Chains A and B, each alone.
Chain A
């Protein structure tokens, strides 16, 4: 039983990171109808920027993370600006453009920080909580708490602010949104920036748990993407549930199937998606063709 709960705890910790990644995917999809395939590489940049502020500039972790979010959000603005000529004209090319952007970002990470990765020390040095023999690192609890706050903040932004409502209106019908005076380009730029900031937050938080390297965003991006689909692409609460779900499934698959854990995780994911193709909280809020 101790082993079961220990595995569950580690699954929830990593699941919180996947949930943050999935939030970014879902936000951009919900407001632009676009799957941003550069999201994993944006996470990598965010992780490197945060670790540079924390390790090299010696800023407190609580300052390094928001600073990285702001800087990486600016990168999101640049990506959107480059892709803007394709908006509402050629959606498939825009999608491919995000793949290209991801390749550029990974190459930039290697050029700036070299291909050698870096370890990041945990900012929380207190001893793990031990409950019934199950060890819970305090940093993991911090990651889960930050993820919950990010979800609430994003939900409030989309549902309670004019800007959030405008962003969703653009995804539903960009011509109608333009007709009522919503600037589509600006709306998409903000969407990309917030999505990038969320990716940076995920990257910054996962750095002390793992290892910052130019390819860290590849697997985290895939897991986050799967989490977004599992929860219902475009659904904010779905991103959280999907992320935690992928984390827990992966954790128990690792315990029972060892070297085949990735295979088993994605077989289970495939079966779940076949049963419910729109995801747990599946909704069609976007009418892009």
Chain B
């Protein structure tokens, strides 16, 4: 290689390095998200940019779609009513593929894209991975996750749009043991973050009531043949089978349990309150399921009926718990933005914490750990619908 060629190459590398350095310093006009936030953005113009991060592909994509629809509906309604301080809210959807690693990449991406807040994710494991980055970038996040790993982070920027798994399961355990008098209880959970959380929460709740499960089996989250685990559980002859798995797998568990001749009452948290669970299990198999959920169906209240009508009109299918949670979360964010004049950063997080909102799931009032609702209700699946008890 000649000296002239070496000089040309070195010059090209130097120019490229300079360009990259300039780009890394931020695009012209982009605000820095680590400035501590803005208490008032009266001088700001243009849309309010908020990110929605959820699985749009992979095994969790149905949950991601429900959340996207719930948030989109709330934002569409707010924009139609004039937005926030005359500014429209602009949502950008990011696909985390249900993968915590992808989630962390997206956390950095939304920070550099100028999104001032985030909705999502629907998977606690992904949200937990993103939380430290969002905290350092001062981006408030309202999530559909329910794992106590989220509240253990004690991030001032992280808020749940529903109760924690502990609330779901302690309410369920109290009903099953104290109200119905069942003592012979078996458990079947999966090994992802949701299932592991359910296993821990329900076992703890049972111990508090002096009950030890007859059997506690764990299956992989993507397992489709649960018959071996159910066969072992069937041998203990339980009165109740508690399930800690996502909607589709829960439905499969029930279907296969009934095929094995098990007549135990099924007890579960939020997933059993969804159409996905009912269609996978089959209505005949799902009837009698005891459900612990803060959203017992689209007929549960006048507000739920109004929400369901708007959702069905927009998307052509009825909503369920995840859509309702996401809708409530979005309404809380919009209320906070209105209260603080579209502020960002810590002032926005504080505004969210100050919101008192009567939502589809109940009355929200956030504590320091980011939990805003502390109760669920019990319903029984009857003829394919969930009927509240009493």
> Taking beta carbons and an 8 Å cutoff, which residues of A are in contact with B?
3, 6-7, 10-11, 14, 106-107, 110, 114-119, 121, 128, 130, 135, 137, 209-211, 213-215, 218-219, 250-252, 254-255, 258-262
Closest to B196 in A: A259
Cβ-defined partner of B235 (8 Å) among A3, A210, A219: A3
Contact B57 A10 (CB under 8 A): no
Contact B62 A261 (CB under 8 A): no
Stretch from B33-41, B218-226, B325-333 forming part of the interface with A? B218-226
Tell me whether A210 and B228 are in contact in the complex, defined as CB-CB below 8 angstroms, given that A6-B260, A117-B276, A135-B260 are known contacts: no
- Which residues of the other chain, A, contact B191 by a CB distance below 8 angstroms? 259
- Which residues of the other chain, B, contact A214 by a CB distance below 8 angstroms? 57, 61
CA A255 – CA B56 in complex, angstroms?
33
Interface pairs (27), CB distance under 8 Å: A3-B232, A10-B231, A107-B57, A114-B65, A115-B64, A115-B65, A116-B62, A116-B317, A117-B280, A119-B278, A119-B281, A130-B261, A135-B260, A135-B261, A210-B224, A211-B248, A213-B59, A214-B61, A215-B59, A254-B219, A254-B223, A255-B228, A255-B229, A258-B229, A259-B220, A261-B219, A262-B222
B279 located at the interface, meaning its Cβ lies under 8 Å from any Cβ of chain A in the complex: yes
Closest to A213 in B: B248
Chain A interface SS verdict (over half):
helix
Contact B228 A251 (CB under 8 A): yes
B368 located at the interface, meaning its Cβ lies under 8 Å from any Cβ of chain A in the complex: no
- Which residues of the other chain, A, contact B59 by a CB distance below 8 angstroms? 213, 215, 218
Tell me whether A262 and B220 are in contact in the complex, defined as CB-CB below 8 angstroms, given that A10-B225, A119-B251 are known contacts: yes
Cβ-defined partner of B61 (8 Å) among A110, A254, A262: A110
Contact B228 A252 (CB under 8 A): yes
B282 located at the interface, meaning its Cβ lies under 8 Å from any Cβ of chain A in the complex: yes
Closest 4 interchain pairs by CB? A255-B228, A115-B61, A10-B227, A119-B279
- Which residues of the other chain, A, contact B184 by a CB distance below 8 angstroms? none
Closest to B61 in A: A115
Considering residues A110, A114, A255, A259, which has the most beta carbons from chain B within 10 angstroms of its beta carbon? A259
- Which residues of the other chain, A, contact B276 by a CB distance below 8 angstroms? 116-117, 119
Cβ-defined partner of B219 (8 Å) among A7, A118, A137, A259: A259
Closest to B315 in A: A114
Least distance between A3 CB and chain B CB atoms (Å): 5
Contact A211 B228 (CB under 8 A): no
Tell me whether A254 and B228 are in contact in the complex, defined as CB-CB below 8 angstroms, given that A135-B261, A215-B59 are known contacts: yes
B183 located at the interface, meaning its Cβ lies under 8 Å from any Cβ of chain A in the complex: no
Contact A210 B252 (CB under 8 A): yes
B259 located at the interface, meaning its Cβ lies under 8 Å from any Cβ of chain A in the complex: yes
Least distance between A205 CB and chain B CB atoms (Å): 13
B26 located at the interface, meaning its Cβ lies under 8 Å from any Cβ of chain A in the complex: no
CA A107 – CA B56 in complex, angstroms?
10
* Contact pattern, B 48-90, Cβ under 8 Å of A = 1, otherwise 0: 0000000011110110111000000000000000000000000
- Which residues of the other chain, A, contact B220 by a CB distance below 8 angstroms? 259-262
- Which residues of the other chain, B, contact A218 by a CB distance below 8 angstroms? 59
* Contact pattern, B 196-228, Cβ under 8 Å of A = 1, otherwise 0: 000000000000000000000111101111111
Contact A254 B229 (CB under 8 A): yes
Cβ-defined partner of A110 (8 Å) among B57, B222, B281: B57
- Which residues of the other chain, B, contact A7 by a CB distance below 8 angstroms? 227-228, 231
CA A114 – CA B68 in complex, angstroms?
13
Least distance between B389 CB and chain A CB atoms (Å): 26
CA A215 – CA B281 in complex, angstroms?
19
- Which residues of the other chain, B, contact A254 by a CB distance below 8 angstroms? 219, 223, 225-226, 228-229
Q: 7 new A-B pairs (CB below 8 Å) besides A128-B259, A213-B59, A259-B219?
A: A6-B260, A10-B231, A117-B276, A214-B57, A254-B228, A254-B229, A255-B232
- Which residues of the other chain, B, contact A137 by a CB distance below 8 angstroms? 259
Cβ-defined partner of B218 (8 Å) among A3, A213, A251, A258: A258
CA A254 – CA B220 in complex, angstroms?
9
Least distance between B217 CB and chain A CB atoms (Å): 6
Closest to A106 in B: B57
- Which residues of the other chain, B, contact A3 by a CB distance below 8 angstroms? 231-232, 235
CA A251 – CA B190 in complex, angstroms?
16
CA A259 – CA B223 in complex, angstroms?
9
Least distance between B248 CB and chain A CB atoms (Å): 5
Tell me whether A211 and B280 are in contact in the complex, defined as CB-CB below 8 angstroms, given that A251-B228, A259-B219 are known contacts: yes
Contact A255 B65 (CB under 8 A): no
Closest to B256 in A: A10
- Which residues of the other chain, B, contact A110 by a CB distance below 8 angstroms? 56-57, 61
Contact B222 A219 (CB under 8 A): yes
* Contact pattern, B 241-283, Cβ under 8 Å of A = 1, otherwise 0: 0000000100110000001110000000000000010111110
Closest to B284 in A: A121
